[in-house]
Structure 1
């Protein structure tokens, strides 16, 4: 049996990221392939330093690192919050141990990664998530640059996270994209980027989490009620104050309690008192179950929107990022456009979340996209096999 080496972001502290990896692993398995999640452990070597130098000149990369450092520093000023966030991080790690049983041994350093993965895998697959954000290019891992030229390379639903590639990155992107035997992207904007850079028309496929319906997710994530009373699941990763005010307005008008997950991507002092039930002791399985049993969902998260759709919930999606050329709203834009759900975008009226959704129509679109996406992956895996 062919063995697929997966370059996926499995150990990040993000529910959606972990769930899309789980879906990728399960679908590759269902299509009849053995897979292993590649664990690359960076090692301080002259080569690694040379690879890292360009990233240190990237404003976006520096901002991300400084924001993470600042968040950790600020949280430590609040002992109870620090304790709770630490507990949640341990739950993230626990999910990895429970659900990702196909982890490779650690490949320590770039040279080891290149040498041993060439021997251990027949083909390579990267995706999904925003692995191709411009400031991530410097790691050279999720671009499969470590994989040998003579081994097939597949991208499934890999996202650029932006609608345009800055000029200073275009040469690097063009170079690694040309090495792929099968390319697909999660967004319409990504399809346009690839066409622009290498002249190839690629397929827009669904996020891995959409490869399974609610029943499929029920088999992966057992159903259990996390919060007993009726509630609104308010899942905000961004920092927008007005979004929180809107959620509180909805609470005041309906009497439903707000369940929140504070301090995931950012520390916001406002979130110290935002929400009636603040969730810390939770993992990605609990995230799915909080959506399953919510009365309504208010979210600025792509995967918060996806799982709301999969479980036929009434939801509103808020823009986490400011609009613009390099806005990272493109994946939600594509999702709503492809599924005919543009009216579920928040436009200032939070009470619109109560509007009914014709999920029979939505399901028809999801099924078409799901079937086309599974067929893309099946064909990509089959036609790129080197032992045919």
Structure 2
């Protein structure tokens, strides 16, 4: 039996990331393959520090690090919030311990990582925004650490941005050309690959969409987190107007608002936003919050995914300005275009109640999704079998 070395972002404090890893593992097991999630810890040697210097002038890397520092600093001013966030982080860690048991030994340092490749037959990098510009320097998610002789597969891996910075194009070309099988989660990602290396690649669904809602019920039994009827607001961005739109919907419908605050950012407005501010929540609870909501408002890709899978009435609000260099809207745009759900994008010229109550023909959506699911599964099956 072939053993797959998986490069996935399994230990991040993000519900969507953990769920897409879970889906990837479930599908690989279902297809009859053995695997390990590769654990890599960077070793701070003089050479590593020297090679890392270019990252210090990478605006994407710097912004990511500064945002994390800013968030920690702001949360530290509110001891009660800090304690609640700590409880949530513990739930994230417990999810990893419970569901991600096939972990490799910890490869400490780049040399150990390269040497460890001999423990596997092929390598797969799976979904999520693992090819973000600020990840380029790690040589991990782009599989640059893997010797040429080993097969390499990318399943639904996302660049996360609509364009590659000019100064990274040559290095991006280099790692893309080394893959035996390439696929992208977004139409824009497929176009980026074609523009860079002239190769047509398949657009496949996120791993979470490889399973139907009924199949997800087998992994995550239905359970009510909140007993009352509610609007679930899952916002990762900082736009205050999105919160005000949610409050308008709440006022018009008489429904209370449930939130999971301070995930990616600290937004002071969120200290008083929502009737249910939830912290003691893991990825299972996250799915059930969407399942049992009357309405969902979100700026999140996986918030959108599970709203679709659960046939919810939902509206997507743009987390980023489309003209922003850091915009990651393309992944949601792609999903909506493929499934004929572009009208679920928030339109400020329309009343929010009328917009969210607009009927969705989920019969047609499911037909399109089933076709995409089957096509994506065929790609993954062929890639694993033929390498």
In the superposition, the TM-score normalised over structure 2's length comes to 0.98
1:379 maps to 382
User: What is the distance in 2 between the residues matched to 1:361 and 1:325?
Assistant: 33
Question: Which of 358, 362, 366 is residue 359 of structure 1 equivalent to?
Answer: 362
Structure 1 contact 155–180 (Cα < 8 Å) conserved: yes
Cα distance change of structure 1 residues 325 and 250 upon mapping to structure 2, 3 Å threshold? closer
CA shift for structure 1 position 37? 0.5
2 CA distance for matches of 1:41 and 1:135? 17
1:74 equivalenced with 2:77 (yes/no): no
DSSP 3-state at the match of 2:6: strand
**Structure 1 CA distance for aligned equivalents of residues 138 and 50 of structure 2:** 11
Q: Give, in whole Å, the separation in 2 of the partners of 1:249 and 1:164.
A: 35
Whether the aligned pair in 2 keeps the contact of 1:162 and 1:325 (CA below 8 Å) is: no
Query: Partner residue of 1:324?
Result: 323
Question: What's the counterpart of residue 233 of structure 1?
Answer: 232
- Distance (Å, rounded) in 2 between the aligned partners of 1:55 and 1:21: 27
Counterparts of residues 284-295 of structure 1 (less than 5 Å): 284-295=283-294
**Cα distance in 1, alignment partners of residues 130 and 47 from structure 2:** 22
Distance across 2 between alignment mates of 1:47 and 1:362? 52
* Separation (CA, whole Å) in 1 of partners of 2:321 and 2:367: 31
SS in 2 for 1:297: strand
Gaps of 5+ in 1: none
Change beyond 3 A, Cα 1:202–1:325: farther
What is the match of residue 105 of structure 2?
Answer: 105
Q: Partner residue of 1:85?
A: 85
| Residues 101-250 of structure 1 mapped to structure 2, 5 A cutoff | 101-116=101-116, 118-250=117-249
SS at match of 1:162: coil
Counterpart in the other structure of 2:305? 306
Deviation at 1:50, TM superposition (A): 3.0
Deviation at 1:68, TM superposition (A): 0.4
**Structural RMSD (CA):** 0.8
TM-score, normalised via structure 1 length: 0.97
SS at match of 2:62: helix
> In 2 relative to 1, CA 148–337 (structure 1 residues): closer, same or farther, beyond 3 Å?
same
In the TM superposition, what whole-angstrom CA distance separates every residue of 1:245-281 from its partner, at most 9, and x where no partner exists?
0000000010100000100000011000000000100
Q: Using the alignment, how far apart are the partners of 2:134 and 2:384 within structure 1?
A: 29
Aligned partners of 2:174, 2:60: CA distance in 1, in Å?
A: 22
1:51 touches 1:139 (CA, 8 Å); kept in 2? no
Contact kept? 1:298, 1:317, Cα under 8 Å: yes
Structure 2 distance, partners of 1:97, 1:183, is: 30
Report if aligned partners of 1:164, 1:325 keep a CA contact under 8 Å in 2: no
Q: Return the alpha-carbon distance in structure 1 between the equivalents of residues 134 and 324 of structure 2.
A: 16
- String of CA shifts for 1:340-366, please: whole Å, max 9, x gaps: 000000112321112221000000000
Query: What number of residue pairs does the alignment pair up?
Result: 383
Equivalent-residue separation in structure 2 for 1:200 and 1:50 (angstroms)? 34
* Secondary structure of 2:36's aligned partner: strand
What is the CA–CA distance in structure 1 between the aligned matches of 2:24 and 2:324, rounded to whole Å?
Answer: 29
1:350 maps to what in 2?
352
CA distance in structure 1 between the aligned counterparts of 2:274 and 2:324, rounded to whole angstroms: 33
Cα shift at 1:325: 6.5
Q: CA deviation at 1:119?
A: 1.3
